[in-house]
Chain A
Amino acid sequence: MTLVNEPIPQPATPAPAGPLLDVRDLHVEFRMRDGVAHAVNGVSYSVRAGETLAVLGESGSGKSVTAQAIMGILDSPPGYVTGGQVLFQGRDLLTLGREERRKVRGAHMAMIFQDALSALNPVVSVGAQLGEMYEVHRGMSRRSARKKAVELMERVRIPAARTRVGDYPHQFSGGMRQRIMIAMAMALEPDLIIADEPTTALDVTVQAQVMELLAELQHELNMGLILITHDLGVVADVADTIAVMYAGRIVETAPVHEIYRAPAHPYTRGLLDSIPRVDQKGQELYAIKGLPPNLMHIPSGCPFHPRCPRARDICRKDHPPLYDVAPGRASACHFWEETLNDE
């Protein structure tokens, strides 16, 4: 599955043919004492340079686990990749050895986590943490690494970077810490950044600043960005393409403008209808009935059928494949046509 997208601004260097990252039929399971949780069940998506792919899902949908498998930071045990490929610039990362993978991870792909306070080392100054990137990956001296750290902090617009470079994470506000996380991810100018709920812990005004910074740097460095989030508003603001996940599978994928205008999967539709609006006071909210499934006992057929207003017999029996809906659009619903045309 390739995700079609609007033309992106051309970078100075010619973009490599094909996608930057191509995840194919990825499977991940967690082997727990009381059973096996099927967290990711055949996820495929791809990202090109300069593109922003939003992976949208609720907790337990497998959106973060997919990212961890791509980065190679899955907790194992209990988590195991049981199938699929992660092609990064044409190379399957899952077949690489530990050391090789580490090199790719440092220099070519980076991750931004939700909780900057726990992702940063509390007893090392931010300058030293940023500088370490250059010392380890570029073999720089401590002194020049420090200088680079200040440059980075200026680049993510931390005020008085020169005097604050020796400060510790707890001395910064939440927004500033998230900027430091971004600085750390950007340090080696990677080709791909995976941001897992980067603004969820932040206030709206700070959230807007941080997203703007991220988008700006992405554009400047022509990076691919995978934005993992549960927030339909954030997705609408920044994404080019969107993949909606449910119970470890992609249920719908589309260019961002089209999915908001006319969703082709009842789950996407339910999500859009269940969020309150800021521009008017509505009536009672539409609520998707029931609860997200237990990953140890995923329902048969379409995993969404117990909560779906459209479910029929076939939905209980046959798992729907990703049907092509339009160029660049796909939906894993037997009745996608009805859903799409329903007003």
Chain B
Amino acid sequence: MTSEPILEARALVKHYPLTQGVVIKRRIGAVKAVDGVSFDLAAGETLGIVGESGCGKSTVAKLLVHLERPTRGQILYRGEDISHLSGRALKAVRRNIQMVFQDPYTSLNPRMTVGDIIGEPYDIHPEVAPKGDRRRKVRDLLDVVGLNPEYINRYPHQFSGGQRQRIGIARGLALRPEIIVADEPVSALDVSVQAQVINLLENLQQEFNLSYIFIAHDLSVVRHISDRVAVMYLGRLVEIGTETEIYDHPTHPYTQALLSAVPVPNPEAREHRTRILLSGDVPSPAHPPSGCRFRTRCWKAQERCALEVPLLAVPAVFRTTTGPVAHDSACHFAEERDVVPNTEPGGAGRKG
């Protein structure tokens, strides 16, 4: 799966200005929502981005699909910088990068029929489907996402949450994009429906050779669907690697804390697990701590952490080793720690 990256983020920065005053607005600072994020996405791959609310993961999604413009940095699509395109050139690129939103209730226009919602991308990109052909295409799409094509004239309120998310996915697929950026696509869904939508996303990836950026806060879901995983904290990536590297060999203390806190469906794990309880809250992204941003909540923090920004690279201690522990981790004191609780003594949580 390692080919030329189809999408690259290069030192992406997005600052939202904070202003004071009504008539004469003065800039008094900035919310540093995304502050230097770089990653690659290979064709056919799923990159999961995890992090807590406010870490900037949704802003990254918006930057990738051009809903926001980066303050600094570049987004490369097939090697070409697309971050400053506009007009026709931007429109052409956008066709290939589509988005699926979190909330299936607010992301669909309640006054439009399902057919109009899914077909709307064709109004903007008429070259994809000639006018007479659109209804047929929309029916096909409904079928692809597992909805009855007869529903084409219904309105969003006539569907359940899971069905609406399928409509959102169908809209994302309409232009036959190569990349889909999905921002928390299953977190608003019930457990039994969530599995259906995850399976659908995986099947579609196979069928259409899609590349996914999959953003979520649920670490179990992200592991299930991702090939590689990036962990974000306060506007920066703190660790990135393959799914095995991150979950079975995490070296950044924040990743370890996150993973250790995951509630697992196994009551036996209660006694055996050691939970790393972080103290305090995430600091404000308007005034992030100096040096390592995680240091204010980190149990390993030392003076060096306040002075020196740790780079996202293979930590020095692991540079001579090979194997899964040697992956990018932005910590001065990186060390491996097994934190994921076992889900399966006594046969609970077995596979279907």
Contact = CB atoms under 8 A, between A and B. Distances in A.
Contacts of A286: 195, 351-352
A314 interface: no
Nearest to B260: A208
B190 A292 contact: yes
B163 to A, nearest CB: 8
A235 B204 CA distance: 33
Contact of A173 (B190, B257, B281): B281
Interface stretch (A88-96, A127-135, A145-153, A225-233): A225-233
B281 A176 contact: yes
Nearest to A294: B160
B247 A278 contact: yes
Contact of B199 (A239, A275, A285): A285
Given A207-B261, A230-B191, A261 B346 contact: yes
Contacts of A173: 281-282
Nearest to B242: A281
Nearest to A289: B196
A232 B265 contact: yes
Residue of B161, B258, B343 with most chain A CB atoms under a 10 A cut-off: B343
A59 B192 CA distance: 11
B267 A257 contact: yes
B199 A271 contact: no
B193 interface: yes
Given A285-B199, A287-B199, A232 B267 contact: no
Nearest to A263: B348
Interface stretch (B4-12, B97-105, B110-118, B268-276): B268-276
Contact of B278 (A205, A232, A234, A262): A205
Contact of A275 (B161, B342, B347, B349): B349
B267 A236 contact: yes
B243 A281 contact: yes
A271 B196 CA distance: 12
Contacts of B191: 58, 230, 232, 271, 274-275
Contact of A279 (B193, B263, B264): B264
Interface stretch (B176-184, B219-227, B326-334): B219-227
Contacts of B202: 284
Contacts of A274: 191-192, 194-195, 352
A166 B177 CA distance: 52
A283 B161 CA distance: 25
A203 B280 CA distance: 13
Residue of A204, A231, A235 with most chain B CB atoms under a 10 A cut-off: A204
Contacts of A256: 267
Contact of A282 (B192, B224, B278): B224
A292 B220 contact: no
Interface in A185-229: 203-209, 212
A277 B220 contact: yes
B341 to A, nearest CB: 7
Contacts of A236: 263-267, 269-270
B261 A58 contact: no
B343 A278 contact: yes
A176 B53 CA distance: 14
Interface string A263-297: 00000001111111111111111111101100000
Contacts of A232: 191, 265
A203 B217 contact: yes
A233 B341 CA distance: 11
A69 B312 CA distance: 53
Contacts, number: 164
Given A277-B220, A278-B223, A175 B192 contact: no
B350 A273 contact: yes
A153 to B, nearest CB: 15
A238 B350 CA distance: 21
Contact of B265 (A204, A262, A272, A281): A272
Contact of B261 (A59, A208, A284): A208
A276 B342 contact: no
B288 interface: no
Contacts of B258: 204-205
A322 to B, nearest CB: 21
A170 to B, nearest CB: 14
A72 interface: no
B52 A203 contact: yes
B190 A59 contact: yes
B9 to A, nearest CB: 23
A205 B253 CA distance: 13
Contacts of B349: 260, 272, 275, 277
A196 to B, nearest CB: 16
30 contacts: A58-B193, A203-B52, A203-B217, A204-B262, A205-B278, A208-B275, A230-B191, A232-B265, A233-B220, A236-B269, A237-B264, A239-B267, A257-B267, A261-B346, A273-B350, A274-B191, A275-B265, A276-B221, A276-B224, A276-B225, A277-B223, A277-B343, A277-B344, A278-B219, A278-B223, A278-B262, A279-B344, A281-B223, A288-B192, A289-B196
Given A205-B278, A275-B195, A286-B352, 14 more contacts: A58-B191, A59-B161, A173-B282, A204-B219, A204-B261, A208-B277, A270-B352, A272-B350, A277-B220, A278-B343, A281-B223, A282-B351, A285-B199, A291-B163
Interface of A: 58-59, 159, 173-176, 203-209, 212, 230-237, 239, 256-257, 260-262, 270-289, 291-292, 343
Interface of B: 52-53, 160-163, 190-196, 198-199, 202, 217, 219-221, 223-225, 243-244, 247, 257-259, 261-270, 275, 277-278, 280-282, 340-344, 346-352
| 7 tightest A-B CB contacts, nearest first | A286-B352, A233-B263, A276-B224, A273-B352, A260-B348, A274-B195, A203-B52
